[in-house]
Structure 1
Amino acid sequence: MKKFLIISLATFFMFLAGCSTSNESSTNTSTEAKSNTSTETKSKATEEPAKPTGPISIVWYPNESGSDLAEARDALAEIIKGATGLEVEHRTTTDYNIAIETIANGNADLAFMGAVGYIEANKKNSAVVPIVVPSGQSGTLDDALYNAWIGVKRENADLYKSGSEFTIENIQGKRFSFVSTSSASGFVVPASTITGYFNQKDEWKNLSSEDLLEGGSNKLFSEVAYGNSHQGTLVNLLLDRSDVAAFCDACIDNYIELIEGEENVRGAVYRVRDDADEPLNGFPGEEFTIISVTPVLNAPFVANTNNLSAEMIEKIIVAFTSDEVANNPSVFVPGDSEFKGLFSKRADERFVRVEDSWFNPLRELQ
């Protein structure tokens, strides 16, 4: 399995060369109320922070902020409470940047965020560090990957074929929806996939990710929209606000089901489940086809070391990486369960420790 990640990432970069609601404790409000809080970059505290006596706060991306995932968030909060003895306060968001600023500015102690969001938060404040990530099926970092998709409505899928094979060739001139520029699987990775492919063509040989931020004349896309969550980007596609959209498999897994083809393979067809929650509850039975699949490093839980002591962070890590949590069906959800969780249990999935350097392959794409 140690060869798996090397092979996966090698294939990933070769592909690039060849061709990541209701607010339980409103971050929007609290961020505005704390507008006097400095947004300047903090350096790591030179002294160990005092042990907090109040609740530990954890901020969530929009993808994990929906009411349908409240029990899943609470299951993780119970682990943190058990490790630290402190209550846990959730801060849900409707915007990636709010979540990033909240952890970077110290207005939250912990966060679950995409790899690119972590990289951005760490740039703003080096006190923000990764602590654990969900592993792959091997139970290690070797296959701790998920997938960035580029999808189209099923009825239009044949427009994106060259012969019998799906290709991104014909996305030029179309209306495209990304998630957020801070999303690994919703912008950074698909943007690199797109520029890597079109850079081979004389007319687009100098195309950069920045050129994909907006549409218009002399741009690759006629229009560019942002869904602000992976679910929101799929909504853009299904409402015909875009012709093509980028989103990830893990982020919308609770809302969809495979109906044709092989999972995470170009040409696979998915449909929105009849019991899908908001914001996809209005689209039962709608179908879409995947025309591009690229692996992405798993999202980390991160901590602000200006807020939490090394001792407390270690307690949280030990609790998260325990066998008890690995076998908790409310955290790593078995395939036959109806519980709506954040992580799936197919084999030996669990949380594993992670260091900052593990995210360097994504840094190199920015």
Structure 2
Amino acid sequence: MNILKSSLFTAGIIGLSLAAAGCSSSNTSGGHQKTKDLTVVFLPGDSAKEAGPARTALANEIHKATGKKVSVKTTTDYNVAIQAISSGKAQIALMGPDSYIQAHKQNASVEPILTYSGKSGTLKDAQYHSYIMVPKDKVNQYKVNGKFSLEKIKGQKMSFVSNTSTSGFAIPAGAIQTSFKLKNKDDLQQSNKFFSKVLFGGSHQGSAVNLLKGDADVAAFDDMDLVSYGKFTNDSTKAGADFKINANAPAPFNHVRGKESIALAAYPVQNEPIAVNAKTVNKSDTKKIIKALTSSRITKDKKFFAPANAKVHSLLPKDGDTQFIAISDKWYAPTHKVLGE
């Protein structure tokens, strides 16, 4: 699948147990034992309080499918989630493409089993978007010859999500690297290098808040983690995309309600996977999980898929015929290539 039209292509732990949770510890060398219980780990963006019912719904379905006790592990740091799934301390994860690839790099037994489709119900449009945003009231400062441009972001205060976030760092940083012909992305992570100050929000929500509160001049974040808190007022697929925070948005956006940001650039990203550590989840259980989550019942369940304006905070956004589709690592070949992993 051609994810980009150009050369730019560029997660404190809260335990919520469905039963007495327990998972066997292991090491990253691959000498894991198949576990009697299962733990599902989530990245920071999916660890927000309002996403609790959706996390529980996923854990419930895995429990029903496998008959095993399932617990939920939330995180405030991308690396915690990556280490949890790669080490086998967690056996299943919902994670971004880059986080998955980093975990797979640490342990090849970490494999994607599912992703969610696009509006078409297929993998052809199974993508979301990564943005480089600025406050709406300052967007004219970043235009060059009347057009949105990255040219003037150098020297500004920048907020990324995490250096292991696909859409919150890898892709936008890669775009900046290409645009400015930088040798690598290292300087983009440090203050007083390319940017006067570099912040990491820890989640897409956190990065957006850094921008809207004025702590950052420019910020990177994606749409799928933000659409429950606001909406795009125009075309969300290209530069100029206008994202406005809802008037009733909960924390952490309760202090920036109504504020807007404009995209200087927008980049498509392959949808995130549900991954398993194959050394700790047997093939039979994996097949049962795939069968359960790809059922029409789950496709229609609003705890799993709901429109951005729905009152319920779903696990994933619903648009058209969105549904889970079984995949393998081969599907992420474009992201592997872009990230060089």
TM-score (norm: length of structure 1)? 0.85
Alpha-carbon distance in structure 2 between the residues aligned to 1:268 and 1:302? 31
Q: Which residue of 1 aligns with 2:188?
A: 212
Q: Where in structure 2 are the equivalents of 1:1-366 lying within 5 Å?
A: 5-6=1-2, 9-13=3-7, 15=8, 23-25=14-16, 41-43=28-30, 50=34, 52-54=35-37, 56-199=38-181, 206-216=182-192, 219-259=193-233, 261-334=234-307, 337-366=310-339
Alpha-carbon distance in structure 2 between the residues aligned to 1:142 and 1:210? 33
Alpha-carbon distance in structure 2 between the residues aligned to 1:336 and 1:211? 38
How far 1:140 moved relative to its partner? Answer: 1.6
How far 1:22 moved relative to its partner? Answer: 7.2
* Deviates most, 356-365 or 93-102: 356-365
Per-residue deviation, residues 205-246 of structure 1 (Å, max 9, x unmatched): x43212211121xx3211111111000111111222211000
How far 1:258 moved relative to its partner? Answer: 2.4
Q: Assess, with a 3 A threshold, how the Cα gap between structure 1 residues 60 and 162 changes in structure 2: closer, same or farther.
A: same
Q: Assess, with a 3 A threshold, how the Cα gap between structure 1 residues 129 and 16 changes in structure 2: closer, same or farther.
A: closer
Q: Is the 8 A contact 2:9 2:269 kept in 1?
A: no
How far 1:162 moved relative to its partner? Answer: 1.5
Report the identity percentage.
35
How far 1:335 moved relative to its partner? Answer: 5.4
Q: Is the 8 A contact 1:112 1:302 kept in 2?
A: yes
| Structure with greater helix share of residues | 1
Alpha-carbon distance in structure 2 between the residues aligned to 1:71 and 1:143? 27
Q: Which runs of 5+ in 1 are unaligned?
A: 200-205
1:187 is paired with a residue whose SS is helix
How far 1:338 moved relative to its partner? Answer: 1.4
Q: Residue 215 of structure 1 aligns to which amino acid in structure 2?
A: S
Q: Is the 8 A contact 1:264 1:293 kept in 2?
A: yes
Alpha-carbon distance in structure 2 between the residues aligned to 1:351 and 1:88? 20
Q: Is the 8 A contact 2:13 2:73 kept in 1?
A: no
Q: Which runs of 5+ in 2 are unaligned?
A: none
How far 1:280 moved relative to its partner? Answer: 1.5
Alpha-carbon distance in structure 2 between the residues aligned to 1:245 and 1:283? 15
Q: Is the 8 A contact 2:94 2:275 kept in 1?
A: yes
Q: Residue 5 of structure 2 aligns to which amino acid in structure 1?
A: T
Alpha-carbon distance in structure 2 between the residues aligned to 1:329 and 1:38? 35
How far 1:42 moved relative to its partner? Answer: 2.1
1:364 is paired with a residue whose SS is helix
Q: Residue 62 of structure 2 aligns to which amino acid in structure 1?
A: I
Alpha-carbon distance in structure 2 between the residues aligned to 1:172 and 1:64? 31
Per-residue deviation, residues 150-181 of structure 1 (Å, max 9, x unmatched): 10111111111122211111101111111111
How far 1:43 moved relative to its partner? Answer: 3.1
Q: Is the 8 A contact 2:204 2:225 kept in 1?
A: yes
TM-score (norm: length of structure 2)? 0.91
Q: Is the 8 A contact 2:9 2:268 kept in 1?
A: no
Kindly report the root-mean-square deviation, in angstroms, between the aligned alpha carbons of the 2 structures.
2.2
Alpha-carbon distance in structure 1 between the residues aligned to 2:4 and 2:243? 28
User: How many aligned positions are there?
Assistant: 334
Q: Assess, with a 3 A threshold, how the Cα gap between structure 1 residues 365 and 68 changes in structure 2: closer, same or farther.
A: same
